[in-house]
């Protein structure tokens, strides 16, 4: 991580209980205060990881000046409230991300999710397991942060040795923020740009109705920047940003063509997802699979290549 240390940034890898078994969070010192970027889930393993990192860098809880969140997904947002209670630091997050983070992991939304999954054609037994999985996340994101500051696009933050500009990059998550330093061409990317895996683009029945279109637009936006180093939320730090952006654009173009090819007659979103994901998925992964499938179907629907029929439940898609 010598590349990061020259910019005063230290990577803190927090374990996750999923197939994607880690999230990279970051620490950066500015004079006598420290900035935390992203936090992990609210778990004992997360607390131990942060305690060890604070010991390693000689950080007292009161030395933390702020906690910056790139987005509201639980592996980034979940321990923000707990870390705030420990340090007293304000949490910085975009307004949209804050609104989503405070809504998604609530009983109200869990009940809405059940109806959404049934409308997508998921079997009732799988919907029941997904509800149990939702319930399991309830404690992994609490307590919610109470002292928050809103990040706006264009705001600047001193993070380590450099000053970064906040750039709004929705798609993977509504309200997602990257942070870019123009002089050294460093991008703190959150989950917008990852080297080894494709960021999940999902629709779950609320918010942006076409997140894939939004994500592709955000990729094009980042493509206009000169980037020499990408500091991501998962996987390795990397330097070939432009090549990776092109790979992701091609991937989704190919994925859309494949999704359209799978729709024969009338099909539910769940039936299409079964064609897209052939390996055995955990219950947690089923959520990503159905969300990703619907995001691609919604893109094709808006483009006029598919029609969604809501006359009966479950809903069905057919070609125009």
296 — phi, psi (to 5°)?
Answer: -70, -40
Q: What is the pLDDT of residues 116-129, one digit of tens each?
A: 999 999 999 999 99
Its sign, for the CA torsion 18, 110, 42, 129, is negative
User: 39 falls in which pLDDT band (50, 70, 90)?
Assistant: very high
Q: Which residue has the higher pLDDT, 5 or 178?
A: 178
Please give the CATH architecture assigned to the domain spanning 1-105+133-250.
4-Layer Sandwich (3.60)
Query: Are the CB atoms for 93 and 166 separated by under 8 Å?
Result: no
Q: 10: which strand partners?
A: 27
Structure confidence at residue 279 (pLDDT): 82
C-alpha 75/C-alpha 22 separation (Å) is 9
Query: Are the CB atoms for 79 and 36 separated by under 8 Å?
Result: no
Q: Indicate left, alpha or beta for 134 from its phi (over 0: left) and psi (-120 to 50: alpha).
A: alpha
C-beta atoms surrounding 60 within 10 Å: 9
Structure confidence at residue 2 (pLDDT): 77
Q: Is 186 helix (H, G, I), strand (E, B) or coil?
A: strand
The answer to whether residue 11 scores a pLDDT higher than 90 is yes
Query: Are the CB atoms for 286 and 306 separated by under 8 Å?
Result: no
The answer to whether residue 241 scores a pLDDT higher than 90 is yes
Structure confidence at residue 120 (pLDDT): 98
> What are the helix (H) ranges across 60-167?
74-77, 80-87, 95-104, 107-119, 124-137
Whole-model pTM?
Answer: 0.96
What is the arithmetic mean of pLDDT over 275-287? 90
Structure confidence at residue 3 (pLDDT): 84
63 — phi, psi (to 5°)?
Answer: -75, -15
Assigned token pair, 272: 């299409």
Q: What is the pLDDT of residues 91-103, one digit of tens each?
A: 999 999 999 999 9
Q: What is the pLDDT of residues 184-207, one digit of tens each?
A: 999 999 999 999 999 999 999 999
Domain ranges of the chain: 1-105+133-250
C-alpha 309/C-alpha 34 separation (Å) is 52
C-beta atoms surrounding 107 within 10 Å: 10
Instruction: Say which residues have a Cβ less than 8 Å from residue 162's Cβ, sequence separation at least 6.
Output: 7, 8, 181, 183, 184, 186
The answer to whether residue 278 scores a pLDDT higher than 90 is no
Query: Are the CB atoms for 314 and 268 separated by under 8 Å?
Result: yes
User: 289 falls in which pLDDT band (50, 70, 90)?
Assistant: very high
What is the arithmetic mean of pLDDT over 282-290? 93
307 — phi, psi (to 5°)?
Answer: -125, 135
């Amino acid at each position: 991580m010598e590349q990061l240390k020259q910019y005063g940034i230290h990577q803190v890898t927090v374990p996750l209980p999923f197939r994607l078994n880690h999230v990279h969070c970051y620490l950066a010192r500015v004079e006598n205060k420290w900035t935390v970027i992203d936090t992990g889930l609210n778990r004992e393993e997360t607390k131990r990881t942060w305690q060890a990192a604070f010991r390693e860098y000689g950080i007292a809880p009161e030395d933390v000046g702020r906690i910056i969140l790139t987005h509201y997904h639980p592996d980034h947002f979940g321990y923000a409230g707990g870390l705030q209670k420990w340090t007293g630091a304000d949490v910085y997050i975009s307004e949209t991300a804050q609104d989503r983070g405070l809504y998604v992991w609530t009983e109200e939304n869990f009940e809405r999710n059940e109806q959404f999954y049934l409308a997508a054609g998921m079997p009732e037994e799988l919907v029941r397991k997904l509800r149990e999985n939702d319930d399991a996340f309830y404690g992994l994101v609490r307590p919610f942060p109470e002292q928050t500051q809103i990040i706006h696009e264009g705001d600047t933050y001193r993070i380590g040795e450099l000053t970064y500009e906040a750039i709004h990059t929705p798609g993977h998550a509504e309200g997602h923020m990257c942070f870019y330093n123009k002089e050294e061409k460093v991008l703190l990317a959150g989950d917008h740009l990852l080297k080894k895996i494709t960021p999940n683009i999902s629709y779950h029945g609320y918010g942006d109705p076409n997140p894939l279109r939004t994500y592709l637009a955000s990729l094009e936006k980042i493509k206009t920047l000169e980037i020499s180093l990408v500091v991501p939320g998962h996987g390795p730090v990397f330097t070939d940003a432009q090549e990776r952006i092109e790979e992701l654009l091609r991937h989704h173009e190919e994925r859309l063509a494949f999704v359209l090819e799978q729709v024969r007659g009338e099909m539910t979103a769940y039936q299409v997802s079964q064609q897209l994901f052939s390996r055995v998925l955990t219950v947690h992964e089923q959520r990503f699979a159905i969300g990703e499938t619907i995001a691609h179907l919604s893109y094709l629907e808006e483009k006029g290549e598919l029609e969604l029929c809501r006359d009966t439940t479950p809903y069905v898609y057919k070609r125009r």
